[in-house]
Structure 1
């Protein structure tokens, strides 16, 4: 008992602890997300470095994989979008951390996204196109080996960006369309809207703007964020400019500006808006606004240290000044552009040389690694062979001893099985004896109770019959007294007959008696039961009948229904001294049930005795006539008919019995 109490206490303690932990976790998650919203709007803000470490600790404690990914990605994005020349190692380290985490949570999409969207794109920003291409080919080979279509699509996206940066739009468009094809075959791509927009932009730049509208419609349909939507809208501006539809271009540009104003998270992508604004102002000849946009764009690019793009801005500014007639300023910028282009070319050659050296070193390292792995494999194979011989020898010895032990165990098990079988037979015999004893004792007890009740109940009417018969003989001259005694003899005879009838009914119902069904007129059943019991009611008791229908015929048993209603009305007559007794019925069409109710204004039944009265030989008033079998027989009949008999607990003005039978029409 004490052990059970301890277990219950521990269970309650664990339950309360779990509920409390859930509340704490919920509050902690809300706090963590609020922390993210507060500190990670601008990826170039130095606070991201310390905040990402704090967020990572919080996410690990909460076991939140999504927030862990966002914390690692935020620190990586700081270096990816940040300033400075020497951040390559930090980007590589950040990508490797994110890839390692993606493998640990079995998220291949995150693995290839960090490789493509961050490492390869970073090499593109730095102008290291060959290294980026090498990484993309390695990534595609690994993805094709794994056979996951979504990761292959990520590789196509990376190759698209590389060929675009190398100035090969046709090649870029080829891989972009491959990625779109995978998406349309069922691959889930969150950023597929970008691919539709970028493909449309390439077609516009190639002078094939007739292919752009359909792609732009798909871009808007698949847009899942303001960034997706504004990207497609910006390409629409370029399309309208190519079609010389200046009014439509202006309207689309204003819509894009509003989206940027409403979404602070788009600040990092302002350079896309500046590119389109520059094209628009240049197209409409508003050179002053075009120069202003160039100044804003230059400021943004200097933040991200995108030197290659800055050089192209110099040429565009020179072109605008030339068209404005400011030819001396334009010529100076052209000279600056040529100087920067020369420097960029020299730098590109240095980068290319460095890239080839890096790739050569990688190939040498790969070859050396393969050679060392081969040597290591041969040594490992030799050790494995020696170990295998020892293991085989030990296994042979173990098998011999195991076989011998198994033989002994089999013998023991057979002996144990025989013993268990004998114990089982003895246990079954003991259980059967116990059950037989219980049945015998129960039968003996029921027999004793039955004999006691029957002796008392039969003796009472017999005494009356014998006594009043003798008096009747002595008083033959007094006709009035004779009439009284004859009526007493008649009533006790009826009581005795009912007692015998109840016993016979109970005996018959306890067997598998077959109930015969036929057409039953419900109103006739009710009137018959009322007619049988009418003389039992005292003067002044109002006997009511409230039928639900003028005529109602169902498929049931007339005798059993009348017997139940007669018993219920007889009980009401016994315990109702004034007021009324009402027999009614109602039809429940949906449930296919016929509900009889017998309601009286008598002394009522205590709530705690309302189920007890349906047991055999139970009488709430020991001085009242009856065997205590009537209600028990009625409930058995209700069950046999497929219905039920209960006391209405909500009725408190007397007693109300509810008798339900299934209703089947004929």
Structure 2
């Protein structure tokens, strides 16, 4: 009987333990499944938040972004969805770039990079370096931009989505192309080719359009590289491949415009101006309704093609339309910048007013407490005690009121200063000097970066850049004044006597051509010619010759090799420029000859027109030769291009004896 009871108890315990184990396992399984469901739900929620942010970002809904971004980032942070967290942050920073707030965008990206570095998060570091690179690109600081894109690419090795890597390849290639660093660009394109070939395009594949877009970006970059380096073998096949991939991708207007631009450049390079005209008109047709930037650029392309075909009238019409639209865009951008600044100032003023109201409310509240305390006192004994305590309290409250009043004065002064700064900025802004000011801003950023240590050589280089761009602004104003005089009917008095040698010496000194390190300058002037005395305008004659010499200095390419072992350039690798002077019975001939990039005979007269630059990669305003010819003709002479010279460019300026 006892054994029977023990057996029953043992069986009961076994059943109970088994039930508890099964229950615990089921509970653990349920909790694990719930955690997985929650994780999937949070992932979906974060993804939809990013989609919403992309919608705001793509449609320039800045106000909606600023309201939605904080709560979306907080959600992603709470649930550790870091990829989406940094993607939303990057959208906010990029919105600052598109609005021209480059300093704010750079600071935001640096803060993002530090945050991502502290978490060892590759997505965040990649996005941060990408934003920095784009911001520096818009400021024309291509060296810094290229370095940032390169660092972003190194982070892509730890990023799961390959599309990010291909987008960075595109940005990096554009920066290297702008820098003319074709050796590095060639290496990057080879690496890009290997990466993109891992995703072949199969039209039956659901991801065919995505893969086609990646291949399209690569073939477009390769096409631009081949055009820039004049490597035309196989270019047609590359362009046809780009057309094929873009058709699968969806034939987006912006992509079609980029392809047509490549074909336009290729046609212009090989002299097929009719094909170039067709491609420019194709860009106009594609972009006229929604791609204003490409549309404006296409008008300029069309003007160049028409000019090359000899249709000067239509070319002028197209160029004028290009200039009108370009000016309207600049005005709109300036207006947008002013609206942003006005909004900032209004927000600051509202904050100041809120602080003043809060301080006043606190003052009233303290006074009310003080009065209630007085009323609540009862009795003479308590009154004496209260009087002693209240005097101490009153002194403290008085100090607080004084401090509050001082804070109000400071806040009011800040508000007045903000208003004054807004008025001054609106009065001083001018889009005519934006480019040099952006360069100066870039140098200022470098100088003020806390983690950057500059060597003396770098400081000198930055100082040189600042001086050059300051002189550039001054020179632009002076040249525009000279251009205005050139277009007017102003008569230049010719009542001064001056020797030919003196005109030449002053022009050489003014142009700095004799001190240029990238060329060897020579002067050929017989003594009897130099002593000839001209009756002319001394200042105008020297200025006209100086502009021609400055043109030779600017468009003479620097030597490819520099031997600095002894602190000097290798003379054998330098370009040459010379000034030769001769005379006949009626005229004195000033011939400026160089071994620079040269000028096609078809452009012999075009280059003397206002704002004409045959090569956009050289600095300048395109008005120097215009002013020089105008001055020379008003002095009774002329300025022409000698098209028979093939070794560079040869200009001949004549003045009457």
**When the two structures are superposed, what TM-score results if normalisation uses the length of structure 2?**
0.41
The two structures have a TM-score, normalised by structure 1, of 0.41
Mark the structure with the bigger radius of gyration: 1
